[in-house]
Amino acid sequence: MSDSILLYAIIYLAAAAICVPLAKRLGLGTVLGYLAAGIVIGPQLLNVAGPSDKVLHFAEFGVVMMLFLIGLEIKPTILRSLRRDIIGLGGLQVVVTAAAIATVALALGVGWHLSVALGLVGAMSSTAIVLASLDERNLLAGRGGQSTFAILLAQDLSVVPILGLFPLLATVQAVEGFRFVPEVARAATLWQQYQPLLKLLLTLVMAGTLFTAGHYLLRPLLGLLARSRSREVFTLVALLLVLSVAGLMELLGLPPALGTFMAGVMLAESEYRHELEAEIQPFKGLLLGLFFIAIGASLQLDVVTANPLRILLLLAAILSFKLLVVLALARLFRLPKRAGFIAAFSLAQVGEFGLVLVTYGRQTGVFTDGIANEAATLIVLSMFVTPLLFIALERLALPRMAERAPTRPHDAIRSHHAEVVIAGYGRFGQVIGRLVRVAGFEVTVLDLDPEMVDMLRKLGQTVYFGDASRHELLEAAGCAKARLFVLAIDNPDKSLEVAALIRRHYPGLPIIARARNRQHFSALRRLGVERVVRETLASALEAGELSLQQLGMRAHTAHRLATTWRAHDQANLENMLGYHDQPQDAWIDEARRAIENMEQAMVEEAAGMGALHDRGWATDAAPHRTSPAGTRQVVAVRPPDHQR
């Protein structure tokens, strides 16, 4: 058995490794890549997938994790700003689409339980495909993109009550699903005897309990762990948290995904949100990939070959139904025509949540195997059609409206990530963050010091606990979308690590970096960071300027000298960059020459101020003298005592 696990792991991973990049290249997105990989290794083609339904059951845990992550994304602030679109537009899209599909199904003689279930499945669209496609075409930030996003969010949210509702719609004998914790399965049967309605009530009570208990227990616990600064333990606890919530829900015979969703919402406002997101993301990605491969592999494609016309008609019906519903709602909500078309064409397919619901419906006895297979096949086909719909949108629909209604470049909410990411929020980063915020830019802050994070949050600032040298965390903080990355970490090694990471993964993201000293400065510059600021230079120069004033130099003259000094010092530093790999002698020679040049330049600058005043007229003794050693000094002329 262990041999075959290894073998299947290789087959699944290899199929994904080939199909996913290929699908991405073709503009189909990763979800379709996984599904294609599944179809390739499935019984229709290579038939090497093995027990794909067992894999599917296992991989369902990816869905559980996905809901945890969706929960984490549900920040009340976003919900508030999009509430009209989410509740109104999105809520109506789910209800109207579900009702319309159910009505047609009823009319065709399908039982009402099944009709409602099919309607709910059909209302879902593919968050993953749609968001990626809109993003690729730069449509996400516009009005159409935002409305689409709001509808998708509403669909994601509605999955939670639908999961609770499905057991009530069961008409056939439930298929025993995969149990994450088989030991509790027996105990769980105790609950099976309860009436479905009671179960729904129980679900709500559990959700509330989880929410409140977790808020007061989990956050302090996570804080304690963060202070231990052990990354592994944090990962471990994040996984433990998700697994135990899922297990607890299962014990009560409730959908595990619902529990993890609630756990996610509960932690969405906590300072550990980005860190948790980063920890769970890889597991979710892998398992969800596996889930889609398994779905692809378990498709019985003979339903297509047996009656192609029937499938084609159903597909066309679903796509046009969904498209028309969104178009009608867009008009009802007075969206611009262009925005309405973008939303309608984007959301016409049935998506991965549809597949999740079909799988869950099969386990809870809502669907028979035959219906589940046909529904899943239709869903997958509709997903494959999506790129064609986007092409139709771009080539046919949008060009006709482009002139009349251009997309608004900056809507109230442009993206769900800030424009500026600041890593390191100590004395240095805080000044930058406050200044940039005051100027009206949105800032996401990452810091690794739990005490600092706690304190700043108490002061009302948005700060996240997290290690910026991790790619997942940078991704979660929105580096792919940010306009600027401020690298204000004080530790030079860590700072260089982050700089290299950003240059590798986000080559276009501008960096403004803090350098501890000249070595750190040079290292950052060599990594390709253009704008590097030495952390104590400006304050030291200010103190130098004050010193010159105290010694009797005019304030403006002192300021000019300090500014000139700074420019020359910077030029020298840049010049020395070319010598870092030269022999030490060459380096020292160059450094010495640089110092001499600088002194010369300073003398000339001071003299230049005098030259403003024609020296042939009414000037006194030259202010610069040459000292016996040959090095020159600037001697200030004390101003008269008129100020006192």
- Complex with other proteins: residue 54 or 615, whichever CB lies closer: 615
- Complex with other proteins: residue 368 or 549, whichever CB lies closer: 549
Q: Return the range that interacts with other proteins (CB under 8 A); candidates 269-277, 376-384, 495-503, 606-614.
A: 606-614
User: What separation in angstroms does the CA of 46 have from each of 40, 52, 163, 376, 642?
Assistant: 6, 13, 34, 20, 96
> Which tokens go with 570?
């910077």
Of 477, 487, 484, 473, residue with least CA distance to 437: 484
Letters for 559-588 (x = contact with other proteins by CB under 8 A, - = none) are x-----------------------------
Among 334, 395, 410, 642, binds other proteins (CB under 8 A): 642
Least Cβ distance, residue 566 to other proteins (angstroms): 13
- Complex with other proteins: residue 463 or 606, whichever CB lies closer: 606
Separation between Cα atoms, residue 453 and residue 226, nearest integer Å: 11
Of 413, 431, 429, residue with least CA distance to 421: 429
Least Cβ distance, residue 560 to other proteins (angstroms): 8
- Complex with other proteins: residue 282 or 608, whichever CB lies closer: 608
- Complex with other proteins: residue 327 or 635, whichever CB lies closer: 635
- Complex with other proteins: residue 438 or 618, whichever CB lies closer: 618
Among 447, 499, 557, 602, binds other proteins (CB under 8 A): 557
- Complex with other proteins: residue 406 or 608, whichever CB lies closer: 608
Kindly determine how many residues on this chain lie close enough to bind other proteins according to the rule CB under 8 A. 26
> Which tokens go with 77?
């602030």
Q: Which of residues 497-526 bind other proteins (CB under 8 A)?
A: none
Residues with Cβ < 8 Å from 218, sequence gap 6 or more? 241, 266, 267, 270
Least Cβ distance, residue 632 to other proteins (angstroms): 17
62-71 in b/e form (b: 16+ CB < 10 A) is bbbbbbbbbb
Separation between Cα atoms, residue 252 and residue 305, nearest integer Å: 42
Name the burial class of residue 365, with classes exposed (0-12), middle (13-18) and buried (19+) by CB atoms within 10 angstroms of its CB: middle
Separation between Cα atoms, residue 248 and residue 244, nearest integer Å: 6
Least Cβ distance, residue 559 to other proteins (angstroms): 4
SS (H, E, C) 556-568: HHHHHHHHHHHHH
Least Cβ distance, residue 441 to other proteins (angstroms): 23
Least Cβ distance, residue 505 to other proteins (angstroms): 39
Least Cβ distance, residue 96 to other proteins (angstroms): 56
**54 contacts other proteins (rule: CB under 8 A):** no
**Bridge partners, 422 (sequence order):** 445, 486
Least Cβ distance, residue 601 to other proteins (angstroms): 18
Separation between Cα atoms, residue 372 and residue 134, nearest integer Å: 30
**555 contacts other proteins (rule: CB under 8 A):** yes
> Which tokens go with 132?
């990626």
Least Cβ distance, residue 638 to other proteins (angstroms): 8
Of 531, 600, 590, residue with least CA distance to 565: 600
Separation between Cα atoms, residue 252 and residue 247, nearest integer Å: 9
- Complex with other proteins: residue 138 or 619, whichever CB lies closer: 619
- Complex with other proteins: residue 107 or 621, whichever CB lies closer: 621
> Which tokens go with 194?
């309860």
Least Cβ distance, residue 545 to other proteins (angstroms): 8
Least Cβ distance, residue 555 to other proteins (angstroms): 4
Among 601, 609, 624, 632, binds other proteins (CB under 8 A): 609
Separation between Cα atoms, residue 149 and residue 138, nearest integer Å: 13
Q: Among all chains, which residue has been given the structure tokens 């549809």?
A: 354
Residues with Cβ < 8 Å from 583, sequence gap 6 or more? none
- Complex with other proteins: residue 460 or 616, whichever CB lies closer: 616
Q: Return the range that interacts with other proteins (CB under 8 A); candidates 73-81, 152-160, 502-510, 557-565.
A: 557-565
Among 16, 558, 573, 602, binds other proteins (CB under 8 A): 558
The answer to whether 483 and 415 have CB atoms below 8 angstroms apart is: no
Least Cβ distance, residue 613 to other proteins (angstroms): 5
The answer to whether 70 and 260 have CB atoms below 8 angstroms apart is: no
> Which tokens go with 181?
């914790």
- Complex with other proteins: residue 484 or 607, whichever CB lies closer: 607
Angle at 518 between CA 512 and CA 524, to 5 degrees: 40
- Complex with other proteins: residue 196 or 608, whichever CB lies closer: 608
What is the β-pairing status of strands 463-465 and 624-626? unpaired
Residues with Cβ < 8 Å from 124, sequence gap 6 or more? 155, 159, 350, 351, 352, 353, 354, 357
Q: Which of residues 610-639 bind other proteins (CB under 8 A)?
A: 610, 612-620, 623, 636-637, 639
Q: Which of residues 525-554 bind other proteins (CB under 8 A)?
A: 545, 554
- Complex with other proteins: residue 197 or 612, whichever CB lies closer: 612
Least Cβ distance, residue 125 to other proteins (angstroms): 55
**556 contacts other proteins (rule: CB under 8 A):** yes
- Cα-to-chain-centroid distance, residue 404: 33
The footprint of other proteins (CB under 8 A) covers 545, 554-559, 609-610, 612-620, 623, 636-637, 639-643
